[in-house]
Amino acid sequence: MNLLDIFFIVSGIIIFLLGIDIARREKFNALHFIVFLAIGLGLMVFTVFPQALKILGEVFGLQRGADLLVYLSIIFLIYFVLLLLRKLEGNKEDITVLIREIALQNAPKYQFTEKQEIFVIPAYNEWEVIAETIQTVLEAGYKNIIVVNDGSKDHSRVILEWFWDTILALHHYKNRGQGAALETWFEYIRRYGGKEGYVVTFDSDGQHSIQDVAKFQKYAQEDSQIDIFLGSRFLKESTTNISFKKKILLKMGILFTFFLSNIKLSDTHNGFRYMKKSALKDIIITIDGMGHASEIIDIISQKHLKHKEVPVDILYTEYSLAKGQKMSNALNVLTRFIWTKFFK
């Protein structure tokens, strides 16, 4: 037995013992346990009995046992890379939770006007338009407004201070993404907003029409069993000046969401929603970025929430078009949702 054989045997014993340690932990992970035991035992057996590797290779139709070892090594390498990425993702989630809790602890306990919708407006570097958006909602007679300033680096915080006596502003000290901002004010409403009534998600860049809230109200009165109403810019009654390129990207997103969540919608990435407060106990967003829109649809499917699409008008301004989503962002949304759904 040479030095390399001894190294493999010792490595196998260490990995095997790590597998035993995994089995003893409070949060037992069966897959990790099986993988570590398989690697540990495999290293020891194939080192002491090299013929076993050749025999096993022949079972899989391989001429050389070493080929099987190469393929297994690639599989285990992919597994450990995914394991590492999952750990890093968990660390990011912990940071988001910490930032969220700081924002919630620093926020005052706002006295909401009863029997009125709560408007939630996430904002990141929107100082040029956020004041106009807030004023539009206020002038329409709605008093319950929460703005989550998602770590803006511009003058957004100063602008929000102008409305200190009319709205509630929560501040992330670091940018985490629109999904994280929405979940922060969802959590605030869960804690302090009561259980009755509706919540409106409203983009900060001015592309939504405040008049469309009346459409949501009408449908909610007609059917009080619906948990969440989803705005759609692609229904017949809708109006939008969307570009052809963006329309293609959104249509691809619709197909993608249908295949993964089995819900057929005409518009899956619309930020204009009208939902019951009681539905927030199920709608817990874990994707920080723009992929949260697909995650919400997936939650609707998994939790069997009753939903309905409502035609809304979305008119893109020069400002909103200048901040439009790029193809790279669309790919990021896709990969983040797939990761969350299948590997988390």
Tell me the CATH number at 185: 3.90.550.10
Q: Are residues 120 and 192 in the same domain?
A: yes
Distance between CA 310 and CA 303 in Å, rounded? 21
Q: Are residues 142 and 90 in the same domain?
A: no
307-311 sheet: strands from edge to edge: 168-172, 144-150, 118-123, 198-201, 273-276, 228-232, 307-311
**Among residues 119, 134, 124, which one has the least CA distance to residue 172?**
124
Structural domain contains residue 214: yes
Interval 28-48: pLDDT, tens: 567 767 777 787 787 777 777
Q: Are residues 154 and 258 in the same domain?
A: yes
- Residue at token pair 């501040």: 171
Helices (H), the chain: 3-24, 30-48, 50-59, 65-106, 130-139, 156-161, 178-192, 213-222, 244-261, 292-303, 318-322, 327-342
Domain boundary among 97, 132, 166: 97
pLDDT confidence of residue 237: 86
**Among residues 133, 203, 120, which one has the least CA distance to residue 162?**
133
Decide: residue 236, CB within 10 A, 0-12 exposed, 13-18 middle, 19+ buried: exposed
Q: Are residues 76 and 118 in the same domain?
A: no
Distance between CA 215 and CA 228 in Å, rounded? 13
- For the packed helices 292-303 and 178-192, what is the interaxial angle rounded to 10 degrees? 50
pLDDT confidence of residue 188: 94
pLDDT confidence of residue 275: 97
Q: Which amino acid is located at 286 in the chain?
A: T
Q: Are residues 195 and 281 in the same domain?
A: yes
pLDDT confidence of residue 114: 75
pLDDT confidence of residue 44: 79
Q: Are 314 and 233 in contact (CB under 8 A)?
A: yes
Q: What is the pLDDT along the chain (344 residues), one digit of tens a residue?
A: 667 667 767 877 887 777 777 666 655 567 767 777 787 787 777 777 777 777 777 777 777 766 776 777 777 777 777 777 777 777 888 899 999 999 999 998 887 877 789 999 999 999 999 999 999 999 999 999 999 999 999 999 999 999 988 999 999 999 999 999 999 989 999 998 888 899 999 999 889 999 999 999 999 999 999 999 999 999 988 888 888 878 888 888 888 888 878 899 999 889 999 999 999 999 999 988 888 888 999 999 999 999 999 999 998 877 776 665 555 555 665 666 665 666 66
pLDDT confidence of residue 74: 79
**This model's pTM is above 0.85:** no
**Residue ranges making up the domain that contains 284:** 112-342
Q: What angle do CA 146, 285, 174 make, to 5 degrees?
A: 60
Q: Are residues 162 and 302 in the same domain?
A: yes
pLDDT confidence of residue 15: 74
Q: Are residues 136 and 83 in the same domain?
A: no
Contacts of 219 (CB under 8 A, 6+ apart): 226, 229, 308, 310
Q: For residue 313, give Cα distances in angstroms to 120, 229, 233.
A: 18, 15, 6
How many structural domains compose the chain? 2
Decide: residue 169, CB within 10 A, 0-12 exposed, 13-18 middle, 19+ buried: buried
Distance between CA 112 and CA 118 in Å, rounded? 8
Q: Are residues 81 and 121 in the same domain?
A: no
pLDDT confidence of residue 72: 73
Q: Which amino acid is located at 81 in the chain?
A: V
Q: Are residues 205 and 334 in the same domain?
A: yes
Q: For residue 222, give Cα distances in angstroms to 14, 28, 276.
A: 65, 48, 14
